[in-house]
Structure 1
Amino acid sequence: MILSTSVINPNKKRFKKTAISYTLITIFFFAFSRIYESFSFGETSVHMHYLFAVPLVGGIILVILLKALPQFSRISFNLWNSAVAIITAGTLFRGIVNLSGRSTTLDAPYWYVGIGFVVLALLSISINPIRLKKNFRTTEV
């Protein structure tokens, strides 16, 4: 059976889709934060100004992990995406509150839950290869 050259490796496809998605999200948040700040009547917010950095850094780390770990599981991928989304939402919330001229601690749960998801994602990355080796050994015997 001859394989067509149009068949793409699923890992390459996920890598490419992830890189494009995070690039577009970063561009969107960069433009959104600049436009939102321009209508803030002189108020500034570090959180709003650097909102784009959260998906940028999260995407770079994810792309590196996808390239370095070919056995990167779907649950690790989803946990990482969730962590980036939660931290981005927390940064956006804090930026909007700061631009309104107020301060609050209502954004604290975003940070705690986001960090929790990062920890879960990193644990799932480290546990998955151990589980795969254990399953391979039991099927060998």
Structure 2
Amino acid sequence: MSTSVTNPIKKRLKKTILCYTLLTVFFFAGSRIYEHFSFGETSAFMHYLFLIPLIGGTLLVALQLFVKGLSRLSLNLWNSGVATLTAGALYRGIVNLSGRSTTMDQPYYYVGFAFLALALISLFFVRSIWVEKIT
């Protein structure tokens, strides 16, 4: 008979930190490369695109440290919110760099913030079974 000594809460926290760090670096480098080849056009949405996963990941890590036993539902809703906000900013940045303007990105922000709000609301109703025992 064997028992696992890995702590799933710490494992999830490390995975969250790694994923959001890689996403931030990817969007930082990708937006700079895309702007470099945009023939002098600039877009604040594209330039600061990396801040969305950076801030979202930082808040999620803080949330995981503060709320022990963060549920999978809360985590998925939070990740969906950050992904939707990032997609909206990316869409707006690409359209702005092409020399046009649009308001078609607004639904992305409404849905993204709705996901984030649902994630925060779900903290009060759902708990994970991976709660550390206090000894």
Aligned to 2:73: 75
Partner Cα distance (1:21, 1:109) in 2: 25
The two structures, once aligned, show a CA RMSD in angstroms of 1.6
Partner Cα distance (2:23, 2:82) in 1: 11
Aligned to 1:62: 60
Shift of 1:8: 1.4
Structure 2: gaps (5+ residues): 130-135
4+ residue stretches of structure 1 with deviation over 3 A?
1-4
Shift of 1:71: 1.7
Structure 1: gaps (5+ residues): 133-141
- Determine which structure has more spread, i.e. the larger CA radius of gyration: 1
Shift in CA distance, 2/97, structure 1 to aligned 2, threshold 3 Å = closer
Q: Tell me the TM-score normalised to structure 1 length.
A: 0.86
Partner Cα distance (1:108, 1:64) in 2: 28
Aligned to 1:119: 117
Q: 1:87-102 to 2 correspondence within 5 Å?
A: 87-102=85-100
State how many pairs are aligned.
Answer: 128
Partner Cα distance (2:2, 2:100) in 1: 65
Partner Cα distance (1:122, 1:97) in 2: 31
The Cα offsets for residues 84-112 of structure 1, whole Å up to 9 and x where unpaired, read as: 00000000000000000100111111011
User: Which stretch shifts more, 120-129 or 91-100?
Assistant: 120-129
Aligned to 1:107: 105
Give the 3-state SS of the residue equivalent to 1:112 in structure 2.
helix
Partner Cα distance (2:125, 2:2) in 1: 37
Partner Cα distance (1:30, 1:8) in 2: 33
The Cα offsets for residues 62-83 of structure 1, whole Å up to 9 and x where unpaired, read as: 0001111112100000000000
Aligned to 1:138: none
Partner Cα distance (2:48, 2:6) in 1: 36
More helix by share: 1
Aligned to 1:139: none
Shift in CA distance, 127/43, structure 1 to aligned 2, threshold 3 Å = same
Give the 3-state SS of the residue equivalent to 1:44 in structure 2.
coil
Q: Give the share of equivalent positions with the same residue, in percent.
A: 62
Q: 1:11-26 to 2 correspondence within 5 Å?
A: 11-26=9-24
